[in-house]
Structure formats: C-alpha cells, structure tokens
Amino acid sequence: MRQSEGRAPNHSTSHLHIVQRRSTRSAAQYSLFGLWHLCSLDAPTVAAAWTWFVAFAYGIILPWTSILSMFLAVWMLYAADRLLDARTPQPGSGLEERHHFHHRYRKRFLSSLILLSIMLAALLFRLTHIELKLFSALGALLFAYFFLIHVWPFQSAGFSAKTNRLPKEFAVGAFFSAAIFIPTVARVTSAYASLLTGAILFALVCTLNCLYVYSWEHGGDLSGAHWTTEFAVQHKNAVIFVTLTACATVALWPYASRGPALTALACGLSLLCFLILHVFRQRTSAIHLRASVDLALLLPLPVIALAVVVK
C-alpha cells in the first residue's frame, strides 16, 4: 500500500486501496436493480436459480440447503474477488463501479463475509457425501485459480501485463457451470453424458455472458485481454451462432432426453436475450446493462418450468 509523501503511515488503514474513484454516490442513490448488481447479488441469484432448474430439468428435487449453500458460496466468492480486485493501486487499472462500491463499503462486506462463512459451514453438514467430495475438488481448483490471479507475482517475474492476465472469462464459465451441476450429478446414477452436454452448453453461455460484459466495458480496447478473450470478442458473432446452433440442435433433437433438452432451451433463450441487450446497449446505463445480462440468464427459467408443469 502506498503512503502519501511526507505523511506518517497510518497502520489502521485497510490494505484495500483505490486511487481512482468514479463515483461517491451513496447506496440510497442507486436503484434497487443497480444495487442487486453492486452488492454482488446477481451472480448468486443466477447460481441458485440454475442449481434448482438443472435439478428440475433432470427430474430431481433438491433440498433447500443445497440451493441456499450455492447462493452463499457464490456471493462470498464474488464479493471476495471484487474486494481483492479493489486493492489495485495503479491508475487506469480498469476497475468498474462494482469494485469501487465494494471498496467504499468494504467493512460491511468483510463483516458479511465472516457471518455468512459461519452459516455456510453449518449448511455444509447437510450436504451429501458425494456433494462434499465434488465441491472440495472444485474448491481446490478454484483456490489455485484465485492464487494465480490475485497473489502470484507474475509481473515481478518479468511477464508482461498481457501475459499476466489469465483467460478469466473462460475460467468463470467453466467453474460456474461445474458448481451448478454438482448437486444434480451427486444425485443421479446414470445419464452422465446428458449431464455433460448440458454443463458444456451452460459453460459456453456463462462465458459469452462474461465476454459481452468485457466488450461493453472495454469497448474496442483489447490491449489488456488474454489472447483467447481477444479472439473470442473479435469473433463474438461466430461464437454466438455456433452456440445457438448447438442449443437448438440439442433442444429439438427428437431423441434428446428432458434434461439436456430443457437446459439447451434455457441456454438458447438466454443467448437471444444477450443479443437484444447488445443491440440496445447504448440506451442502458453501465450498471443496469451489467445487471441485465445476468437477469437474461434468469428470465427463461420460470417460463420453461411453468410450461413443463402445465403440460
């Protein structure tokens, strides 16, 4: 942490530090929809809803403890990630309003992290043995990923900033999808191939979610992007077309079982929502646009579930 010249160090100051602050607005000045994103509630809402939906698609009723555990765990990860990102002292570090918001209210976020970690620890005893094993393996990989992006001193070892940046958009899609499908995988005795199909499609949609956000927030500046992110953003239309084609093929395949068919349908509808948002992105504020792309992942779920129940 840098100290001001000619000023005695203040050891009580938090290690989280931001040089540039885009806004000093209080939480009361944001809309509820904006706060849903700024408080890191959007990703855990998506995670909890999709955890329920995947199980529903494959004919499984999950206990409320699995869904609540997913919500708490994802919120803690996203809040911690944004607090860690907000430590960056360099000007022009690419921090967005969500990072500034977490820094501004860091004491409340840190207190919430401590409280919710206790709640999550208590809920873990309610999970099945297979769930715990799978989540432990995923957690180990996620911890290694966090270490690489937040702790390991790449630049001091002579790496460039472009090399330093890992393909975060692809990693988030893979980790997010794996976590969502674990509760269902732990409760099935077969149909692993169909589960893998659904997981891959959802991972692609989550990756495209991140790629759209990256392209909106950075415009045409891809200088700091990993080469995979740069390639995917430049060929975003082709990636969307291939993914939509895959979703439509699985959803309409006459021999597809209910699980992958419903998952593919939800993924395809979410992608169409992404395209609509992209067309009207200039008419939406940055915060609401970022929240809307996560809302797009939620909208198809109740519609599809209701149609299946009524049928």
| Per-residue pLDDT tens over the stretch 206-235 | 999 988 888 887 776 777 777 788 888 888
Residue 151 has a pLDDT of: 67
- Is position 268 within any domain? yes
pLDDT band at 24 (very low <50, low <70, confident <90, very high): low
> How many percent of the chain have pLDDT more than 70?
82
Q: Tell me the average pLDDT across 258-283.
A: 93
Q: Which candidate, 219, 232, 212, 230, places its Cα nearest to that of 274?
A: 212
Task: Render pLDDT for 296-310 as a digit per residue (tens, 0 to 9).
Answer: 999 999 999 998 888
Three-state helix/strand/coil letters over 144-206: HHHHHHHCCCCHHHCCCHHHHCCCHHHHHHHHHHHHHHHHHHCCCCCCHHHHHHHHHHHHHHH
Q: Answer yes or no: is pLDDT of 250 > 50.
A: yes
CA distances from residue 208 to 12, 152, 176, 215 in whole angstroms, order as listed:
41, 27, 13, 10
Buried b or exposed e, range 99-126, using 16+ CB within 10 angstroms: bbbbbbbbeebbebeeebeeebeebeee
- Is position 10 within any domain? no
Cβ pair 182, 131 in contact under 8 A: yes
Residue 52 has a pLDDT of: 97
Cβ pair 210, 169 in contact under 8 A: yes
Task: Render pLDDT for 150-173 as a digit per residue (tens, 0 to 9).
Answer: 666 444 444 444 444 567 788 889
Q: Answer yes or no: is pLDDT of 10 > 90.
A: no
Residue 111 has a pLDDT of: 96
Scanning the structure block, which residue is given the tokens 């674990």?
182
- Is position 48 within any domain? yes
Domain membership of residue 163 as a residue range: 28-310
Neighbours of 185 (CB within 10 A): 19
- Is position 11 within any domain? no
Task: Give the count of domains, the chain.
Answer: 1
CA distances from residue 72 to 46, 47, 99, 124, 267 in whole angstroms, order as listed:
12, 10, 19, 11, 24
Distance CA 244, CA 239 (A): 8
pLDDT band at 55 (very low <50, low <70, confident <90, very high): very high
Q: Answer yes or no: is pLDDT of 109 > 60.
A: yes
Residue 285 has a pLDDT of: 87
- Is position 147 within any domain? yes
Distance CA 21, CA 36 (A): 20
- Is position 12 within any domain? no
Cβ pair 1, 13 in contact under 8 A: yes
Residue 32 has a pLDDT of: 92
Distance CA 145, CA 168 (A): 9
- Is position 1 within any domain? no
Residue 218 has a pLDDT of: 77
